[in-house]
Structure 1
Amino acid sequence: MTSVTQSDLTVADIRARISGSSFYTAMRLMPKAEREAMFAIYMFCRLVDDIADDGTRPRPARAAALAQWREDIDALYAGRPAGQASFLLGSVHAFGLARADFLAVIDGMEMDVAADIRAPDLATLDLYCDRVAVAVGRLSTRVFGMEEAPGGELAHHLGRALQLTNILRDLDEDAGMGRLYLPRELLVQAGIGTTEPHAVIGDARVDQVCRTLAARSLEHFAAADRLMKSRPRGRLLAPRLMAAVYSALLQQMLVEGWAPPRRRVRIGKPHLIYLVIRCSVFG
């Protein structure tokens, strides 16, 4: 996949990438200021993720590109010309977005660039989830108008739930890039001795591994749901919808299992519309 730069990427490009997704649906339901801030956060995440996943460039070049992003974020918060990060300025000021969270996302991308992640231990996987998903959640909960403590707790649980669900859905795509995010301890527990991605996902015992990881994701979904039901301050329709969609994906995977051959599960448009109505009406 060819990387794109900020100058190449337009709002139309972003909408084309995510049109029809649950994320885009959730953003369309937000007031304009919040919607624009979420687009800016998404643009940042997409740009740095494209660098990490760009198999056409050597690792040193990708590391240098991420280092430039780090410098531009630092410049943005120091009030200096921020280069490719300039588009974030309005959202940073409007919602008090934290510099540390943008840098954490870059840290997560650097984990993918330093070496292809293959069967990390549970602690490393948790750190990765915190950087690439929970940090985005912390940025998002500021846009949603949540207070710091409940916002941080929601990001902690929902970010992990979403990222683990993505890992479980993207086994084959990740293996195609030489990556395997399933934790080593669970592979050993299932009797799988290799960490070679295609060998692992081709082993029928991978279903046991994925079901154990899915149980962790379900625990995080449940904790996030309890928090949202406590009615903290803020606009919670978007995180409610994301939780509903991704938990539905996970339940579908649990029914179908992960033993090869697999198919990548999806939420159809009628089901997505149903979830939007349910979240809008019942919360």
Structure 2
Amino acid sequence: MTLEATASNASDGSSASGSSFYAAMRILPREQRGAMFQIYSFCRQVDDIADSDGPRPERLAALQQWRDDIDALYQGQPPARLREYVASVRRFGLKREDFLAIVDGMEMDVPQDIRAPDLATLDLYCDRVASAVGRLSVRVFGLSEGDGILLAHHLGRALQLTNILRDIDEDAGIGRLYLPLEGLLHAGITGTDPLKVISDPALPKVCAPLVARARAHFEKADEVMRRSSRRVVRAPRIMSKYYRAILELLVARGFAAPRTPVRLNKMARIAIVLRYALI
């Protein structure tokens, strides 16, 4: 599971055209928009490998090929599938290490499915699959180096934690559990079997600290965006407001079983775009 605002599995559609990512990126000038859709495409392709049901050794080899291709891109010998990335890398100063971090993050699900990582591992996962995407994105948006890295750190983690909280049941269905081990133990849950954990009456106690953590990251991201030019933070602000609304809907619904799926309705999505893109 990755940061679908910029990668895949959007809550309101399986492709970019149905996602908050698409709505946010459509407001960008052509060159920025093109670069962002290249980042999207890269994330999507790598994520599809990690989430496929193919043999694990084959998936690991396919991810390694992406690392090799990224290296070739930065050595001036881009493979065909990355040839169009050359101009964006040069124009926006996209960093090789951020592309590679994304591959590393996707790979964390491949040797074995993630189940109840400790907090440090969960934070590393969020950094790789979400904040690394943000570090590429803020360069395209035009934020200053310091505030850009800070925004990527906080907004990436806020969005990914929201994804984890929203997709608890879906992830458990494929054998994954991203809730932290420390939270399970604090709630008195000693096992890590995903289907048993999500049916445990103590699950809301596990989710509450993640909600608080996500909210704190949203607040820190807002601080950065408030002191930045409105023009350069229009797109990340749309994604932030969209996912903050999802988080609050999750809180209002609660985390006790049975849990109905949560999504933002079309009118609410349109209102966010109109408010933060046009006004």
TM-score range, shorter chain: over 0.9
Q: Output aligned runs, 1:12-161, within 5 Å.
A: 17-55=15-53, 57-161=54-158
Task: Show the counterpart of 2:195.
Answer: 198
Give, as a single letter, the amino acid of the residue that structure 2 aligns with 1:151. G
Offset at 1:16? 7.2
Offset at 1:233? 8.0
Task: Show the counterpart of 2:9.
Answer: none
Deviation sequence 1:102-138 (CA, Å, 0-9, x none): 0000000111112100000000000000000000000
Q: Is the 8 A contact 1:147 1:233 kept in 2?
A: no
Offset at 1:89? 1.8
Give, as a single letter, the amino acid of the residue that structure 2 aligns with 1:29. I
Pick from 215, 232, 244: which aligns with 1:235? 232
Give, as a single letter, the amino acid of the residue that structure 1 aligns with 2:49. I
Q: Is the 8 A contact 2:235 2:277 kept in 1?
A: no
Aligned in 2, Cα 1:106/1:19: closer, same or farther, shift over 3 Å? same
Structure 1 unaligned segments of length 5 or more: list them.
1-14
Query: Structure 1 residues 42-51 or 198-207, which shifts more?
Result: 198-207
> Within 1, Cα distance between the matches of 2:14 and 2:91?
26
> Within 1, Cα distance between the matches of 2:50 and 2:78?
24
With the length of structure 1 as denominator, give the TM-score of the two structures.
Answer: 0.91
Q: Output aligned runs, 1:207-246, within 5 Å.
A: 207-232=204-229, 235-246=232-243
Deviation sequence 1:85-106 (CA, Å, 0-9, x none): 3332221122110000000000
Deviation sequence 1:120-173 (CA, Å, 0-9, x none): 000000000000000000000000011111000000000000000001111111
Aligned residue pairs: how many?
Answer: 267
Offset at 1:194? 0.7
Structure 2 unaligned segments of length 5 or more: list them.
1-12
With the length of structure 2 as denominator, give the TM-score of the two structures.
Answer: 0.92
Give, as a single letter, the amino acid of the residue that structure 2 aligns with 1:249. I
> Within 1, Cα distance between the matches of 2:273 and 2:219?
19
Deviation sequence 1:243-264 (CA, Å, 0-9, x none): 0000000000001011111122
Identity of matched residues, %: 58
Task: Show the counterpart of 2:7.
Answer: none
> Within 2, Cα distance between the matches of 1:233 and 1:241?
12
Q: Is the 8 A contact 2:32 2:141 kept in 1?
A: yes
Aligned in 2, Cα 1:60/1:16: closer, same or farther, shift over 3 Å? closer
Query: Structure 1 residues 63-72 or 195-204, which shifts more?
Result: 195-204
Deviation sequence 1:197-249 (CA, Å, 0-9, x none): 00001112111111211110000000000111112586110000000000000
Query: Structure 1 residues 91-100 or 218-227, which shifts more?
Result: 91-100
Give, as a single letter, the amino acid of the residue that structure 2 aligns with 1:229. R
Task: Show the counterpart of 2:164.
Answer: 167
Q: CA RMSD for the aligned pairs?
A: 1.4
> Within 2, Cα distance between the matches of 1:27 and 1:74?
27
> Within 2, Cα distance between the matches of 1:16 and 1:53?
14
Offset at 1:22? 1.2
Give, as a single letter, the amino acid of the residue that structure 2 aligns with 1:161. A
Aligned in 2, Cα 1:39/1:29: closer, same or farther, shift over 3 Å? same
> Within 1, Cα distance between the matches of 2:14 and 2:223?
34
Task: Show the counterpart of 1:11.
Answer: none
> Within 2, Cα distance between the matches of 1:275 and 1:110?
34
